[in-house]
Chain A
Amino acid sequence: TQLLEQSPQFLSIQEGENLTVYCNSSSVFSSLQWYRQEPGEGPVLLVTVVTGGEVKKLKRLTFQFGDARKDSSLHITAAQPGDTGLYLCAGAYDYKLSFGAGTTVTVRA
């Protein structure tokens, strides 16, 4: 049973559009991480959020941790083809990580 549910499963948008990916759980996490994975490669850590309500920005990517530390969102502004990939969230608990199934994002030029 996965602790984290990601939505949507797939997302295809045109270059320049905005998108939001969600990561939800009924469990509380000590921190939450977001990774991006490209085909044929391993996931690469983008950000870690720790405090409830925390917002972190990484260029055009905005990450938010829910107030209750059970959910998170990733918002991409003016998406570019280079943002294409599988976005994974992972929640930390008992010094382990539980991963969501991921959202496949395709940005069309």
Chain B
Amino acid sequence: NAGVTQTPKFQVLKTGQSMTLQCAQDMNHEYMSWYRQDPGMGLRLIHYSVGAGITDQGEVPNGYNVSRSTTEDFPLRLLSAAPSQTSVYFCASSYSTGYGEKLFFGSGTQLSVL
């Protein structure tokens, strides 16, 4: 049972570099989302998708792009990394229970931007 798989686990970038964080789920969930977790600030929603071909912005979308070409994959792209993007990133897939989403998280990517 793979669930939600994120790669890489760790990444160090220089300011201005670009990279893609990969996320794949095998639970056939329509909803997928990206969060960043910073000390003292909890999890903040970056972008989310309600199905293949549909994406929308969350609370902190600036500096990040996403696409959803398949149900399984939801990559997060940093176009020009900045030190403020140093964080731990979590991908989640979810389904609606009728009174809220039930989220399944990946194990995270720890990103440092120098």
Chain A interface residues (CB < 8 Å from chain B): 2, 4, 9, 30-31, 33, 40-45, 48, 50, 88, 90, 92, 95-97, 99-102
Contacts and interface: CB of A to CB of B under 8 A. Distances in A.
B42 A101 contact: yes
A44 B105 contact: yes
B108 A40 contact: yes
Nearest to A92: B100
Pairs A-B, 4 closest by C-beta atoms: A42-B105, A92-B100, A99-B43, A31-B100
A41 B102 contact: no
Contacts of B74: none
Contacts of B42: 2, 4, 88, 99-102
30 contacts: A2-B42, A9-B40, A30-B100, A31-B100, A33-B100, A40-B108, A41-B108, A42-B4, A42-B105, A42-B108, A43-B103, A45-B103, A45-B104, A48-B97, A48-B100, A48-B102, A50-B99, A50-B100, A88-B42, A90-B43, A95-B101, A96-B45, A96-B58, A97-B45, A97-B101, A99-B35, A99-B42, A100-B42, A101-B41, A102-B42
B43 A88 contact: yes
